[in-house]
Structure formats: structure tokens, C-alpha cells
Structure 1
């Protein structure tokens, strides 16, 4: 092993088994305290409705979907889901600072793909996932993780669908990572 390889440090992450147990306890505590599980797509929806209402209030009020999130004296941003998502963002940044992963922006990818293509594919995948979360009435944390934790049949179906689809399409995208 050359000295160049020994100087490369792998990023430090929490033990995945401990992380899984902590995540399970967090879901349990969230269900106990709030009566519902975790989720992030509701925060994005709140941000979209607020932005739309700021830019074009009449169009937002005329939109059958978005108008249901508007009320006098109550901002769509004043929901615990927004604060949960901000906490996730700040917690990720804090973790990156504490464990030395914030030194340089990096793009995780395979050797067969350029940085530009990786970012474009990530943007497309994120947009499709966001669209799917609206069709599924929640993101993976809301629909799959919390749904499964509360023994909801829909949550179990979503969980199997997410992982099943991932395994089915992984074959076609493997060249980007190998």
C-alpha cells in the first residue's frame, strides 16, 4: 500500500446499527408526542405555498390545492414540519463540521460519470422523487418509515415499492457507479 493511499481518510459516520436504533426511537418519540410520524415533504409544500402566495397571492388563492393551506393570520411556514426540516439541515451541517466533512464540497460518484452529469441526474431524480411524494401523499420518511412504524398497510406497501423499484432500476444505472 502506497503512502498516498494511507493518507486518504474516510469520512466519519455514525455506526449504521446505532443510527437505525436512534432513528427508530426518534420515530417512536415523534408518534408519541405529536400523534404522527416524521416527514419532510410537508415542509417543502409549505415553502412552495408561501413562495407562491408572496409572488402571486391571487393565483395561489385561486388554486384549489394551494388555497387549502392558506388562512388569515397563519403562515403555512408556521408548522412543526418546517422546523423539523430546518433541524435536519442544521443537524447535518453540524455533523459535517464536527466530523470534518465540511472542508470541501465533494460530489460522490463513480469513475465513469462526470460531475456535471452526476448533478444533472441527481436533480432529475430529486424532482421525480418530489413529484412522487405528492402522488404518494408523503415522502419516504413520512409514508414508508413512519407508516411502517405505525403498522399502516400503506406504509408497508410504500416501503416495498421504494426498495423494489430501487432494485429493479439499479441494473440500468449501475454503470454510473462502477
Structure 2
């Protein structure tokens, strides 16, 4: 188990995250989020494989029209920065290891399958809701949007309710 002293103090990390959010509002006029970067990546792949489908699809075509490449967007660079920053942070703190964490009643393969399936459902729901939880919680919460606060309360309630069903996989 990792020594907890290697981690940032949560209140300090929260203040830093708030300052990063403030900087995003100030520099690009928008808050933080991740699902937009994933959508742009998916659009790029679909456009490379079937450009006529992308052009005829009302949802995807708005990401490829206008002459600008879909990946040339600050959200893509934000998500890349999160990935690289997390990798560097783990490496510098000697916490970098590649393993599949799972409970005694779950195989690594089952854990990867359920994580992948959950990610697909979550990604679809994020696009359907026109934003992900990071965008809702951080950006919407910071702007005191009532819908974002209600959404986050339901996320916590849903997570708490589901914990009963999945906790047995970890004990």
C-alpha cells in the first residue's frame, strides 16, 4: 500500500484545481471538461474511415466543417495534458505501476470488461447530456448552475446506491 504522505493534502489540491478552473475561464472563456475531446477524437477516426458518413451526419459534420481539424481544439490538449501530467506525477512519486486492480471475486479480464462497458455507457450518456461529470461538477458547479448541482447530487446518490451491489466484488 502507498504511503499517504506522498499525496497532496485534499484541501490544497482543491484550491489548486479551483485556480486551474479560474485560469481556464480567464484564458479560453470556458470551464473544464473531457467529453468534448473524446468526441473530437472519435470524429477524427470516423472521418478517416468513412468521410462521406461524417459529412452526412448532422452531429459529426459540425466537427469537421469549417476547415479546422477536429483535434485542433484546446479540449484535446487539456486531456493530453491530464494524461501526461498524471503519468509524470506517478513516475516522480514512485507510484507508477501497471496492474489491473480487482477484488478476489473478479478476474482481471472481468474487471477490464466491466470497466470498458461502463466507460462506453458513461461516454454515451455524457454526449447525450451534452457534457461529462467533470464539466458538470467543476464548470457548472463553479458557476452555481442549479442543474449541475442537482446532477452531481444524483451522481453521488446513484454511486452510493450501486455500492451495495458491487461491494461484494471487492471483499
C-alpha RMSD of matched pairs (Å):
1.6
- DSSP-derived class of the 1:175 partner: helix
* 8 Å contact kept, 1:43–1:81: yes
Q: Residue 58 of structure 2 aligns to a residue in which SS? A: coil
Q: Could you say which residue in structure 1 is the equivalent of 2:135?
A: 142
Partner of 1:47: 41
How far residue 17 of structure 1 moved from its aligned partner, in angstroms, is 2.2
1:111: Cα distance to partner? 2.6
**Structure number, greater radius of gyration:** 1
Match of 2:86 in 1: 92
Gapped regions of structure 1 (runs ≥ 5): 1-7
Answering whether residue 138 of structure 2 is matched by residue 166 of structure 1, we say: no
2:55 aligns with: 61
Q: Which residue is 1:5 aligned to?
A: none
Q: Does 1:30 align with 2:24?
A: yes
- Counterpart in the other structure of 1:13: 7
Change (3 A) 1:112 1:13: farther
Q: Deviations over 1:123-165 (max 9, x none)?
A: 1111111111011111111122210111112211221121111
2:73 corresponds to 1:73: no
Name 2:117's counterpart in structure 1: 124
Is the 8 Å Cα contact of residues 137 and 143 (structure 1) preserved in structure 2?
Answer: no
Distance 1:143 1:9 in 2: 31
**Contact 1:38-1:141 within 8 A present in 2 as well:** yes
Aligned residues: 170
In structure 1, the residue corresponding to 2:102 is in which secondary structure? coil
